[in-house]
Amino acid sequence: MADTFDAVLIGAGHNTLAAALHLAAKDWRVGLFEQAGVAGGAVKTGEYTLPGFRHDWAAMNLSLFAGSAFFKAHGAELARHGCEFVPVDRPFASAFPDGKWAGVSTHPGETLAAFRALSPRDAQSWETLVAQFPQEAPHLFGLLGSEMKLRSLASFLFRTWRAKGAGGSLDFARFLVSSPRAWLEQTFEHPHIRALLGAWGMHLDFAPDIAGGAMFPYLEGMAGQAFGMVLGKGGAGVIVKAMVAAITARGGVVETGASVTRILRDGSRATGIELADGRRVTATRAVIAGVAPRALTRLTGDTTPAFDRSMETFRHAPGTMMIHLAMDGLPDWRAGAQLQRYAYVHLGASLDQMARTYAQAQAGLLPDEPILVVGQPTVFDPARAPAGKHVLWVQVRMAPGTIAGDAKGEIAATDWTAAADPFADRALAILEAHAPGTGAKILARRIVTPAGLEAENPNLIGGDQVCGSHHLSQHFLFRPARGHADGSTPLAGLHLTGAAVWPGAGTGAGPGYLLAQKLAGT
């Protein structure tokens, strides 16, 4: 006899977990089935190098989760199940080849001093942006937290028009479609400050010249100044463990090592799932698929030609490589010891370098000078490593999912098995140039290539950690496809969730929570 649930969820990433917990709190019986051996998807923590060294597999920054509407609704329950955060007062900085640096912290004087050392005019521009942020934040967060339905969007636009007037609303619209470079060059004069903020666009597939990307450097800069950053105590996986425990305590089921082979249908209605071991699981109210769009039609079979084509042609961002390092000590940054106090140190010399790196990865080339995001979580959460030791979380952006060649002409391999070590060496040589002696402090390393990320989590196609490009043609009303930004599909009872669905990537659980609210009616 088949197991029966009100809602059956495919995958146990943080979005499906958030949806399941909200539905369970509304008295739905939920069952989640995850193909991997552990829940969490890209949000998990483990000892990937040496015993006692705890590394975040992919996601490290939990600021969006801690500030989300989902956590506001369920945070107290999650805290009872062990969810704890570590506040970060110095979220990010950038180091540059000329030995200079700039950083953003919750200490306004520090940020201004760093900016002023590069450009007094830019320090003044920053002060103006910070002063205006409380007036701008409701509009931006209101948009990002809104349902992408025509009625909801019209209501948002009307409220914005009333608050800003015609001119202000048009300026706001212009900002939303601007590229990072356009906004940064309009706002700041020093190339280092432009690069400091522009690096955030690379986190979400917005190279400097991609339209629609200006919002992300702006928001990350302003939020970093106002709120800092949040890490999970002991690792990002703490939120996953808490959600799994909360769902289980409410009578739900979270089963790992359970691969779903197809979605069961009764005509045009989804009725459940079939697992690789032959079991059938029935859903009486909803099937929720936390999968990449390309995988959905393989599970459902044909639905409608337009929808199926949208899923099959859904575009993914270039990949990333992760390098997990067990360290004898922190890097000795050439730009100054103060960089040891920041959670993230970006190594991206200029907007031009970022644009070149992105274009190379898009063309299938191993970039000659990739952008590095060097995470130093043990500065704020020392329990992640043995006493006196550290972990480094090194994210290499960008890297092609499929290698066509090497932009530098040095690496002949075109498969990731052979290219992993030399490309990682190239990345670590960049770190060594900014922090001489770092290599001698490495106790162990673990390289996770784009192919390795996809093998571990099929949603990360080609190592794309944001599960799909956020460019304007595939964002807002068009994420993942026109008419389906709410996660709906042509099959009654079947819903798509995850980073491929509006409002997209990040740890904020917005796609899962918005869907669960729609299904539960509140």
pLDDT digits (tens, 9 = 90+) for 258-286: 999 999 999 999 999 999 999 999 999 99
Share of the chain above pLDDT 90, in %: 92
Q: Number of H helices and number of E strands within the chain?
A: 16, 20
Neighbour count for residue 248 (Cβ, 10 Å): 13
**Measured distance CA(522)–CA(511) in Å, rounded:** 15
According to the model, what pLDDT value does residue 155 have?
Answer: 79
Confidence of residue 144 (pLDDT cuts 50, 70, 90): confident
How is residue 492 annotated by DSSP? B
Residue 74: burial class (beta carbons within 10 Å; 0-12, 13-18, 19+): buried
According to the model, what pLDDT value does residue 2 have?
Answer: 58
**Residue 496's closest CA among 504, 505, 487?**
487
**Residue 124's closest CA among 189, 208, 213?**
189
**Measured distance CA(219)–CA(471) in Å, rounded:** 17
Confidence of residue 148 (pLDDT cuts 50, 70, 90): confident
**Measured distance CA(431)–CA(347) in Å, rounded:** 8
In contact, 267 and 493? CB cutoff 8 Å: no
Taking CA atoms, 221 is separated from 104, 106, 116, 215, in Å, by 7, 11, 16, 10
pLDDT of 241 above 80:
yes
**Measured distance CA(221)–CA(198) in Å, rounded:** 10
Sign of the alpha-carbon torsion through 60, 400, 41, 443? negative
Q: C-alpha dihedral over 139, 143, 145, 146, to 10 degrees? A: 120
Neighbour count for residue 62 (Cβ, 10 Å): 29
For 447-506, how does the pLDDT look when each residue is reduced to its tens digit (9 = 90+)? Answer: 999 999 999 999 999 999 999 999 999 999 999 999 999 999 999 999 999 999 999 999
Domains and CATH numbers, the chain: 3-44+60-84+235-314+470-520 (3.50.50.60), 116-223 (no CATH), 318-456 (3.30.519)
* Cα 360 to chain centroid, rounded: 22
Angle at CA 102, nearest 5°, toward 389 and 332?
30
**Residue 426's closest CA among 462, 456, 394?**
394
**Measured distance CA(416)–CA(492) in Å, rounded:** 41
Q: Using only C-alpha atoms, what is the Rg of the chain?
A: 22
For 348-369, how does the pLDDT look when each residue is reduced to its tens digit (9 = 90+)? Answer: 999 999 999 999 999 999 999 9
**Measured distance CA(49)–CA(17) in Å, rounded:** 27
Single pTM value for the model? 0.96
For 206-238, how does the pLDDT look when each residue is reduced to its tens digit (9 = 90+)? Answer: 999 999 999 999 999 999 999 999 999 999 999
Helix 215-227 / helix 120-144 crossing angle, nearest 10 deg: 100
pLDDT of 44 above 50:
yes
E-state strands within 222-293: 229-232, 253-256, 260-266, 269-275, 280-289
For 81-127, how does the pLDDT look when each residue is reduced to its tens digit (9 = 90+)? Answer: 999 999 999 999 999 999 999 999 999 999 999 999 999 999 999 99
321 three-state secondary structure? strand
Residue given tokens 């949208």 in the structure block = 310
**Residue 295's closest CA among 317, 263, 272, 257?**
263
How is residue 37 annotated by DSSP? S
Residue type, 319: G
DSSP letter string, 285-302: EEEEE-S-HHHHHHHH--
Residue type, 37: G
Angle at CA 127, nearest 5°, toward 123 and 132?
150
More confident residue, 130 or 161: 130
Angle at CA 27, nearest 5°, toward 1 and 300?
50
In contact, 240 and 234? CB cutoff 8 Å: no
369 three-state secondary structure? coil
**Measured distance CA(503)–CA(69) in Å, rounded:** 13
N- to C-terminal Cα separation, the chain: 33
According to the model, what pLDDT value does residue 1 have?
Answer: 36
According to the model, what pLDDT value does residue 260 have?
Answer: 98
**Measured distance CA(322)–CA(320) in Å, rounded:** 7
**Residue 188's closest CA among 129, 228, 132?**
129
**Measured distance CA(511)–CA(501) in Å, rounded:** 6
